[in-house]
Chains A and B, each alone.
Chain A
């Protein structure tokens, strides 16, 4: 497949999984401004959206942002264009997870934490990070 078709196909996959139109984003950066975890990401949320808009598949799949997104929905609440950014992050996670690339090995979770943590923390993390 030539490069342009490949880029278009990647954008279409993200849009299908997320049910969002990535061209709606005009890069104002409010999502990044309000994101409590942007400082931990190698590229902040608005930049990851830019990667998606440009079809830069490798950059999107290498980004750490989807793994730091807690789906707290502050960005979704504040986006002036109505883009549901956590759904875009979920779409990127889904592409990883459906290719059987999970973020972590459940067996490696600290045993002491495992006994102490509430079940909903573990269940949420498993549903977001494992396949």
Chain B
């Protein structure tokens, strides 16, 4: 099987571990990800101003190009996924926008390219994963952190229930590990506030991490490179503000999947994790 793939800017730079482990996981499943030719930034955040639709042009150009490759495109980054899906929704709801925006696109586009998250693909192909599991993850307790952009706004994203989603937990159970459900799994990590109000991001991330630990998580898995950065890189500063805090490793879901599928250690990108998960993985004989 072959699938069109849109990595987004961060998977090529600070989240290479996400990109590599995802590619290798799909490879292990016998699926080839074909990166879109000539892709560019999706614009990161979805523009919320109703009187200026300029920010929709970037995501729609990507989707118009993707449409020529395949009817669906795999998008792993939460922010890209949210932006592309909301752009699609907007185009379908608003015929004025459809007309205006198509004047700016090189090829006409109607909002019909399906934006698919890897977790949705795995949910719909459970048997394929089961067939390829190589390592036993039994016992390792993974906190399932969704963050914001995979879930909200519900009507436009339609990924899972915005207040009590289960797709991550089902995924963790599927690959043989123990999912940890915790109330803060749908709370914001601080997002881009880390740039100009780091204290607010530190506070938000601390609450998420503490809550996951209080519910028994030994590590946390996420799908968003910005959540990953806040939860992982800010732990050093959290420790200064809260001396009782114990570090906890943060994985991309694809890193854990790659381990389960027997992908070689050098392709897991573990060296990019600021809080090293090596000891935890050795404890469970996964390295």
Contact = CB atoms under 8 A, between A and B. Distances in A.
Interface of A: 16-19, 36-37, 40, 67-68, 70-74, 76-77, 84, 86-87, 90-91, 94, 103-104, 109, 113, 116-125, 127-129
B49 A90 contact: yes
Interface of B is mostly: loop
Given A72-B188, A76-B153, A123-B43, 4 more contacts: A70-B193, A71-B48, A77-B152, A91-B49
B153 to A, nearest CB: 6
B79 A120 contact: yes
Given A77-B163, A116-B233, A125-B192, A19 B50 contact: yes
Interface in B154-169: 154, 162-163
Q: Which 5 residue pairs of A and B lie closest in terms of their CB atoms, listed nearest first?
A: A72-B188, A19-B50, A125-B195, A90-B48, A124-B192
- A16, A72, A91, A128: residue with the most chain B Cβ atoms closer than 10 Å: A72
A74 B197 contact: no
B122 interface: no
Nearest to A90: B48
Contacts, number: 131
B196 A118 contact: no
A73 B49 contact: no
B195 A122 contact: yes
A124 B190 CA distance: 12
Given A118-B225, A119-B9, A120-B44, A67 B49 contact: no
B252 to A, nearest CB: 12
Contact of B14 (A16, A119, A128, A129): A119
